[in-house]
Amino acid sequence: MADAAPSPLRTTPLHSAHIAAGARMAPFAGYEMPVQYPQGILKEHLWTREHAGLFDVSHMGQARLRGVAPLAAFEEIVPGDFINLKPGKQKYSLLLNRKGGIIDDLMAGRPDDDGLFIVVNGACKDNDFRVIDRELAGQVTIERLEDRALLALQGPQAAAVLQAHAPQCASMVFMDIRPIHAFGQDLIVSRSGYTGEDGYEISIPAKAALDVWNALLSDERVRPIGLGARDSLRLEAGLPLYGHDLDETVSPVEADLGFAISKNRREQRDFPGAARIVQELVEQPSRIRVALRVLEGAPAREGAQIADAEGAIVGVVTSGGFSPSLKQGVALGFVTPANAQVGTPLRVIVRGKPQSAEVAKAPFVPHRYVRKHTS
């Protein structure tokens, strides 16, 4: 019997715009997505750090969770405090399995009083929504917002660019989320992103995505940026990528994401995998995610072994590459707690050759989030 034909790749509402701009397209999370544009990943990366980069992230999963008490219900599957989440705010959180492993990382916010607005990773969204539906059946309903696109405008000039079209965004600070009427459309705008830079994520009706994309690109400060530079930017920012640095075997403590576990939830121990996670908070897990600077040779890629100064294998690289900002190799990976202190000398094994590395303070490039309104 012949194997079933692979499912055709899905496309975002901006697919034609990427093709017209000369993007190199590739499969990602079941979609055909732009990896880079003609200027190349290095220039796209540095442009975002210096100006404003525009990303199509419409492959991500957007949804509304509604019910009698959706915030309380949501706490049954994540370790954060959402009951007390105020309108206009969002949080980073983790969808957990019953063993305390990470099913996905996500953003969840209250742009208004219409339940909870969540954004999950594109490769995980179908499973995420199945899990939420199964675990919270009878408490929440899920409306998947398949008719909406998602853009990310990131970089030091992103705020000035967006505020020229939507002045009401000026008063927003990091992790604010609001309904905004701009470009003649009803948007959901959060001041957040995945690059370490200041910027916004903009949820748009799919039918208007091309108009908004073109309007933003008409500003000389803005260029389109592909997934290649998105990855190098998030790596410099020390941000994990699901399916690489996070998976269902990794706990929030191992992943160095303890900030996503609210203090009162730690005390209540009322989230999936709480027994394991609280024990790891007290006793340390067997592995910890760290940042690494590769001090010589080629960048260490995912799967490269990490050795201590004596040559014993103590971990593995889960994300790695060349940092355009630092002009050296950087990586994220897991090591034993004894080798997790900043400054610890290590070796990464690249093509069978040990190369000098050291545990670094994350992020590699300082975050530039706007946390306080200054005007």
For the chain, which residues make up each domain, given as ranges? 6-283, 286-360
What average pLDDT does this structure show over 186-200? 98
Q: Is the pLDDT assigned to residue 147 strictly greater than 60?
A: yes
Domain 286-360: which topology?
Elongation Factor Tu (Ef-tu); domain 3 (2.40.30)
Instruction: Give 156's pLDDT tier (boundaries 50, 70, 90).
Output: very high
Give CA–CA dist 186/193, Å, rounded: 20
Instruction: Give 7's pLDDT tier (boundaries 50, 70, 90).
Output: confident
Q: Is the pLDDT assigned to residue 5 strictly greater than 80?
A: no
pLDDT for 106: 98
What average pLDDT does this structure show over 104-124? 97
Percent of the chain residues topping a pLDDT of 70: 98
Instruction: Give 1's pLDDT tier (boundaries 50, 70, 90).
Output: very low
222-224, strands of its sheet edge to edge: 177-182, 185-190, 199-205, 148-154, 52-56, 222-224
Q: What is the pLDDT of residues 326-335, one digit of tens each?
A: 999 999 999 9
- Residue 319 CB contacts under 8 Å (≥ 6 apart), including other chains: 235, 240, 241, 244, 245, 302, 331, 332, 333
pLDDT for 372: 84
What are the backbone angles phi and psi of residue 267, rounded to the nearest 5°?
-70, -40
Instruction: Give 4's pLDDT tier (boundaries 50, 70, 90).
Output: low
Task: Kindly state which CATH superfamily the domain 6-283 is placed in.
Answer: Probable tRNA modification gtpase trme; domain 1 (3.30.1360.120)
Q: Is the pLDDT assigned to residue 3 strictly greater than 90?
A: no
Q: Is the pLDDT assigned to residue 94 strictly greater than 90?
A: yes
